[in-house]
Amino acid sequence: MEATSSAEVVEQTKEKMIRAVTHAISEFANFRTGRASSVLVEKLAVEYYGSEVPMVQIASFSVPEAKLLIITPYDKSALKEIEKSILSSDLGINPSNDGSVIRLAFPPLTEERRKELVKLVRAKAEEGRVAIRNVRRTARHELEQLEKAGTIRTDELERSEKELDKLTADTIADLDRGLAHKEKELLEI
């Protein structure tokens, strides 16, 4: 929906930034301590008949015990591609393929592995920050278009840009609080 006032642009931007933070924090949930979870692999892209699809679309998952995840493809011909996808991911776990299912055995978390997970979570947080800044840049562009069209005055543009900067800083601070919480959770033994 095209915004017709600076207030609309700021409001839409706020909603998009909140969604970016929510998405980044939900990505943090992919990094779990102490337990195998299908969330870790569901979104991995797998080459399947010439196109990339999320693993969740071509396989089912089960967790028979806390440290073991079993991936059962609906089509056995996809086993090799699923295995390749897991190996190329940043999970750091070697899959065991028995010809019908893939087993992922999650080792107990060492201090080194915990630090690796923290790095991965920080990378997701940085992706979130970039998304937030991209939303701000798009909003600034929309505001400048409104000013060029004569819909808003220059002083209103400047006020809205300051509001966007404050909104961006607050939203990134929310993301950083979520990151700090997840880091603390990962580093606890």
Helix (DSSP H) and strand (DSSP E) numbers for the chain: 4, 6
Structural domain includes residue 94: yes
The last residue of one of the domains, among 88, 105, 122, is 105
Number of domains in the chain: 2
Strand order in the sheet with 102-105: 59-65, 68-73, 102-105, 96-97
Beta-bridge partners for 51 = 48
Query: Does the global pTM surpass 0.75?
Result: no
pLDDT of residue 3: 67
List per-residue pLDDT tens for the chain, 189 residues long.
566 788 899 999 999 999 999 999 888 877 766 677 777 788 889 998 889 999 999 999 998 888 888 999 999 888 999 999 988 887 778 888 898 999 988 877 788 878 888 998 999 999 999 999 999 999 999 999 999 988 889 999 999 999 999 999 999 999 999 999 999 888 876
pLDDT of residue 179: 95
Helix (H) or strand (E) holding 72: strand 68-73
Structural domain includes residue 135: yes
The last residue of one of the domains, among 70, 105, 140, is 105
Structural domain includes residue 131: yes
CATH code assigned at 84: 3.30.1360.40
Q: Are residues 15 and 42 in the same domain?
A: no
Structural domain includes residue 1: no
pLDDT of residue 88: 87
